[in-house]
């Protein structure tokens, strides 16, 4: 390769790098900030290592279920009651001594996370999703 061409190639690669960097850092995707209460819940979530067993958006540990959309299954204040029940320890879920404010924060956090996306690929009508007819993916079992 001639030295002139090498410089051109380098310049082109540098331009690609800066172009890509500009695109990544100016991503206009709107982000919805969490409310104060949900932020408190997120802190409780991290302080108690809930993510070591649970996933949000599919990320986290796999001992417990993904909780991205758990709020959708317990509408309104039902989630608060369910959290109180679950945090007392059930099955392999350990007991957590959290006060009412911390539980309300966790409920707010899970409610707001539920509105932002889905945690698991859903098997829709007419889409076998890789599962045989009549067979349910494991997260559909209760």
Contacts to ligand HEC by CB under 6 A: 48-50, 52-54, 63-65, 67, 70, 83, 86, 90-94, 96, 106
Provide the token pair at 128.
């076998």
91 vs 130, which CB is nearer to ligand HEC? 91
**CA–centroid distance for 22 within its chain:** 26
Closest CA to 53 of 14, 20, 5, 92: 92
CA distance 114 to 36: 16
> Which CB, 70 or 108, lies closer to ligand HEC?
70
**DSSP category for residue 93:** B
Phi and psi of 59, rounded to 5°?
-105, 130
User: Residue 66 CB, nearest distance to ligand HEC (Å)?
Assistant: 8
Which residue, 27 or 100, is less far from ligand HEC as judged by CB?
A: 100
CB of 28 to ligand HEC, least distance (A): 33
| Beta carbon of residue 54, minimum distance to ligand HEC (angstroms, whole number) | 5
Residue nearest to ligand HEC (CB): 91
23 vs 114: CA distance, rounded Å? 28
CB of residue 30 to ligand HEC, shortest distance in Å:
27
């Amino acid at each position: 390769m001639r030295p002139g061409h090498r410089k051109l190639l380098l310049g082109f690669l540098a331009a690609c790098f800066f172009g890509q960097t500009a695109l990544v850092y100016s991503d206009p995707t709107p982000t919805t900030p969490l409310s104060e209460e949900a932020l408190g819940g997120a802190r409780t979530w991290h302080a108690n290592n809930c993510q070591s067993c649970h996933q949000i958006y599919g990320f986290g540990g796999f001992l417990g279920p993904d909780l991205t959309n758990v709020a959708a299954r317990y509408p309104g204040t039902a989630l608060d009651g369910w959290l109180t029940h679950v945090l007392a320890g059930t099955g392999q879920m350990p007991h957590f001594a959290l006060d009412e404010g911390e539980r309300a924060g966790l409920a707010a956090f899970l409610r707001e996370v539920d509105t932002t996306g889905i945690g698991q690929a859903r098997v829709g009508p007419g889409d076998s999703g890789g599962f045989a007819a009549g067979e349910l993916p494991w997260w559909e079992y209760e």
